[in-house]
Structure 1
Amino acid sequence: MQKEVSKDIIEKWLKGWSLSRDLPLPFPYKSGFKVNVNDEKQKARYVFSELSEDFFQLAESIDEPWIFLKVCVGFDNFKDEISEKWELQPQGYMMYCFHQMNIPDINLHQNYKIEFENYNSTFVIRIVTKNNEYASIGRVVIVDDLAIYDRISTENHHKRKGLATFVMKELEKIVLSKGISKNFLVATEQGKSLYESLGWELYSLYTSVVIPTEKSKI
């Protein structure tokens, strides 16, 4: 059974998400939040910690494409209550780890090197080859007492080498050095198993719908 979703945590996560992506900060919209993403394929996103009349009113009133509605419940909870103009996106999973991660003692292979960067309160770990070919990357933003991990990814031909786990380990070192022990992220279906192996647990389903002009891949 899904636990009650904290609106405060959702706000902190969304702020971290926005800082990581160098976007305008979220602001309250009725019982939820809005971010003006200003991208061709994502003009804005509305995020709700739970279903509400505000969510359904938005779903009814919006006809413009590429405005996303996002809510912390499964699609089955509302699919019969919104118009068929809305298209379901790949399932997201909000996950938490409120303790040190269960990360094995791993070292970076000699063919790779690590690079550091920071901006907008965001810390970046990047793994590249000795020839400076990008291999893996991850970001973490600290918002108050919460560390928000974002855009953890590995290039296809560098997968299954433990790079994403190493990135998470290095990001966690930064977080622990700041005295933070609460970690939060949104995983894709593909990434969920990695985080579970590191000790993360499911916090909430995270469901997105949009009115596309073509098949959405966001």
Structure 2
Amino acid sequence: MADDDELVADPGVVATWIKGWTLARDTSPPVEDHGGFRVDVGWPQQRTRYVFPRVTPAMRELAATITEPWVFVKACASPAAMRAALPARWAIQSPGFMMECRGVMAGEAATPAGYLLDATEPLPIAVVRALAPGGELAAIGRVVRVGEFAIYDRIETDAAHRGRGLARAVMKKLEAIARDHGASRGVLVATADGRGLYEGLGWELHSLYTTAAIPPPDSTG
């Protein structure tokens, strides 16, 4: 079995994921740029993001021309590979993990006692919310369909409601919606904390996913 660092991303999967990400975040669609993809996000703290299936000379050349903060370069590569490829002004952020589920997720879909799942299903974006007994939002997740793929995004559980299986319940409900609309494979990018959840649901690591950005000036300086 290959080490995590040795996994090579499928460019087609990466292209599908970034298209789904832009749909889920309601940004401009991705465009090909320097052998990867550029998204003109337009947010105050993320003007542009570049996504690459791997580290390439073109990615290095692009990064060398960027000097401003709020531009992100992301690649399906290890943090060490990204550090070696980028100028010193770029900071490597917390690790990410591109993950894939080729079949039905493992486990039960039961909602924890006292909670209610509320689903909004008008694809391309479906949203599932878990509401606590008092009606407050306890967990939330989103899914979009791109061809046969379901791209899951922003699966979040409020700190006060963690450890009760809400994220699992939200994921299973999102999966049911996506499969009802023709999706048969899942893709997402997980944090280090989220990776364990998805592995417990039967997801597998597709590749490492590393983000780099130029830190903004110290506002207190």
State whether TM-score is above 0.5: yes
- Secondary structure of the 1:152 match is strand
Q: What are the ranges of 5 or more consecutive residues in structure 1 without an aligned counterpart? A: none
Q: Quote how far apart the aligned CAs of 1:186 are.
A: 0.3
**In the TM superposition, what are the counterparts of 1:4-43 in structure 2 within 5 Å?**
4-43=8-47
Instruction: Work out the percentage of aligned pairs sharing the same amino acid.
Output: 38
Structure 2 distance, partners of 1:92, 1:102, is: 22
1:146 equivalenced with 2:149 (yes/no) = yes
Q: Which residue of 2 aligns with 1:165?
A: 168
Shift of 1:8: 1.5
Query: Which residue pairs with 2:104 in the alignment?
Result: 100
**In 2, Cα distance between the equivalents of 1:214 and 1:129?**
40
Distance (Å, rounded) in 2 between the aligned partners of 1:48 and 1:128: 37
Distance 1:29 1:127, change over 3 A: same
TM-score relative to the length of structure 1 = 0.93
Q: Does 1:3 align with 2:7?
A: yes
Structure 1 residues 41-70: Cα deviation after superposition (integer angstroms, max 9, x where no partner): 111000000111110011110001110000
CA contact (8 A) 1:20 1:120 kept: no
Instruction: Give yes or no for contact 1:48–1:70 (8 Å, CA) kept in 2.
Output: yes
User: In 2, distance between residues paired with 1:209 and 1:107?
Assistant: 37
User: Where does residue 81 of structure 2 map in the other structure?
Assistant: 77
Give the AA of the match of 1:183: G
Within the candidate set 91, 99, 103, 2:95 is matched to 91
Deviation at 1:129, TM superposition (A): 2.1
- 2:44 is the alignment partner of 1:50: no
One-letter code aligned to 2:204: E
The CA deviation at 1:81 is 3.4
Contact (CA 8 Å) 2:9, 2:54: kept in 1 or not? yes
CA distance in 1 between partners of 2:130 and 2:166 (Å): 8
Name the Cα RMSD after superposition.
1.5
Give the letter aligned to residue 55 of structure 1.
M
Which residue of the partner structure matches residue 205 of structure 1?
208
TM-score (norm 2): 0.92
Cα offset, 1:118, TM superposition: 4.2
Q: Is the 8 A contact 2:111 2:166 kept in 1?
A: no
- Which residues of structure 2 form unaligned runs of 5+? none
Provide the aligned length of Structure 1 versus Structure 2: 214
